[in-house]
Chains A and B, each alone.
Chain A
Amino acid sequence: MGEVAAALALVAVAVGISRWRGAGLESDIVIAVVRSFVQLTAIGFVITAIFDQDTLLLVVVLLSVMVVFGAFTARTRAREVPDALRPLIIALALSAVATLGLVLALGIFPATPRYLVPVGGMVIGNAMTASAVALNRLGDEMHSDAARVEATLALGATSRVAAAPSVRRALRSGTITLVDSTKTTGLIFFPGTMVGMLLAGADPTDAVRLQLILLYVLLGAVAISALTATSLAYRNFFTPAHQLRDTGGASGPDSANGQAGGAIG
């Protein structure tokens, strides 16, 4: 714990910079530091308990809680999408089940809590970011493109066809962050897993091997969640009679924050 306290010196630097330049982020930084401390400490205890118990049921419970929290968090960035919660829960759950299922079926990791908890957490975290970005974009697109969408409906197109260009752009923006960072991995930045393993004294080849596996798994997870979220959520903009719902165009205050970077493993 002494090292953690020492690292707070860098937080002091951040607070100092914010105050010096009037960025107004001091209280946000303090909140972030306190929350990260409390949340990570708590999850540390939870994971210890789950590892001790060594039952898969607890893993499922933990990951389910993460899915629900992740969906609520993602919804705050998808305010312009009506009833975004359900698509988000399904997107996160499906991407977790599909990727973890595939990982186990291919024998990439053994089916034990020690692997499932961290990999599952990372999958859900990245799926959350991707679907949040995708739905944020979808909301903006459907708003700015409403005239075009309705003009396409007027030709007798279904809502699916009319929304397709918006859905395509939303899917793309949800996935592209991870694709781009995967491209530059090792050149411009070291992903977290690799850094963690190196710091923990692992052999660099092992660190690289595991990092590659995780990157590939995450690419799949991100694509599945962005696809699921957008394919379900676009429907909420339409009535069953293929009419564009009057969403009043109320733009959420957070709509500009949707492009936040991915929490890559």
Chain B
Amino acid sequence: MLFELERVSLRRGGKPVLTDLSVRLPDGLNAIVGPSGSGKSTLLRLLDRLSDPDSGTVRYRGTDARELDPLRLRREVALVPQLPALLDGTVAGNLRFAAEIGGREPDVAHLLEVGGLDASFATRDVARLSVGEQQRVMIARALASEPRVLLLDEPTSALDERARDSIEATILDLHHRIGASIVVVTHDIAQASRLADWVAKIERGRLVGQGTIAEVLA
């Protein structure tokens, strides 16, 4: 099992965001679906130990996440946040920075290619990119540490259909080419069925169903 959440609860600002949530996500292609405000992003951040639950356990490949070194976990399990948040400077600068943190040799050309960006983007200032382009750089940057798992939070919510299709193709390609497991958060059921084999559905911080696409989204 890739991730297992056992009776996880989390409060934010005094109100419950996740309540008694038990979720299993196997290796492969996973989606977390649910309406806006249901706690999807909060759940995804737990998988990367960007926060810890108030109660309950999060396990990554059988080990309690609290026992793992968060820095090593995050290099192995890369999270791409919902909103692009690049560092000031060029695209290549961001990619090199991430590779350095991940302890890898930066291969800017290769990262741009898997992110679906052409080589001319290397020298572009990130402040002058469209949101869709920034989102791609975020994905490319997350790959710089050569992660085994990719957590994607609404990777296409700000994009038109064509850009969305092309990012979805990139995600599937990543899974097939480097064998990375994927957890994608989306409010779009159709997208979940295009991208995932296994789905967890949450509403108001509670699990309302998990299983194969056919079982849950039928």
Contact = CB atoms under 8 A, between A and B. Distances in A.
Interface of B is mostly: mixed
A154 B88 contact: no
B184 to A, nearest CB: 15
A16 interface: no
Contacts of A151: 81, 85-86, 138
Contact of B85 (A147, A158, A242): A147
Interface stretch (A35-43, A177-185, A215-223, A243-251): A243-251
Contact of B101 (A148, A156, A243): A156
Interface string B77-98: 0111101011110000000011
Given A147-B85, A150-B85, A161-B101, A156 B49 contact: no
Given A154-B50, A165-B88, A242 B81 contact: no
Given A148-B87, A246-B12, A155 B52 contact: no
Contacts of B48: 154
Interface string A151-173: 11111111001000100000000
A155 B80 CA distance: 9
Contacts, number: 63
Given A148-B86, A155-B142, A157-B101, 16 more contacts: A147-B81, A147-B83, A148-B85, A152-B87, A154-B48, A154-B81, A155-B74, A156-B71, A156-B75, A157-B71, A165-B88, A241-B70, A242-B70, A244-B50, A246-B13, A246-B51
Between B12, B51, B80, the greatest number of chain A beta carbons within 10 A of the residue's beta carbon is seen for B51
Contact of B145 (A153, A156, A242, A243): A156
A256 B139 CA distance: 36
B96 to A, nearest CB: 12
Between B78, B80, B85, B141, the greatest number of chain A beta carbons within 10 A of the residue's beta carbon is seen for B85
B87 A165 contact: yes
B125 to A, nearest CB: 16
B71 A154 contact: no
Interface of A: 147-148, 150-158, 161, 165, 241-244, 246, 248
B52 A154 contact: no
B108 to A, nearest CB: 15
Nearest first, the 8 A-B pairs at minimum CB distance are A151-B85, A156-B75, A156-B74, A154-B79, A148-B85, A147-B85, A241-B70, A155-B98
Contacts of B142: 154-155
Contact of B50 (A148, A150, A158, A165): A150
Interface of B: 12-13, 48-52, 70-72, 74-75, 78-81, 83, 85-88, 97-98, 101-102, 138, 141-142, 144-145
B205 to A, nearest CB: 16
Contacts of A148: 85-87
A242 B71 contact: yes
A155 B88 contact: no
B81 A150 contact: yes
Contact of B78 (A150, A154, A161): A154
Nearest to A164: B87
Contacts of A243: 49-52, 70
Contact of A155 (B49, B72, B145): B145
A154 B48 CA distance: 7
11 contacts: A147-B81, A151-B81, A151-B85, A155-B141, A155-B142, A155-B145, A156-B75, A156-B101, A156-B145, A157-B101, A165-B87
A158 B51 CA distance: 14
B102 A155 contact: yes
Contacts of A152: 87
A243 B46 CA distance: 11
Between A154, A157, A158, A165, the greatest number of chain B beta carbons within 10 A of the residue's beta carbon is seen for A154
A243 B88 CA distance: 22
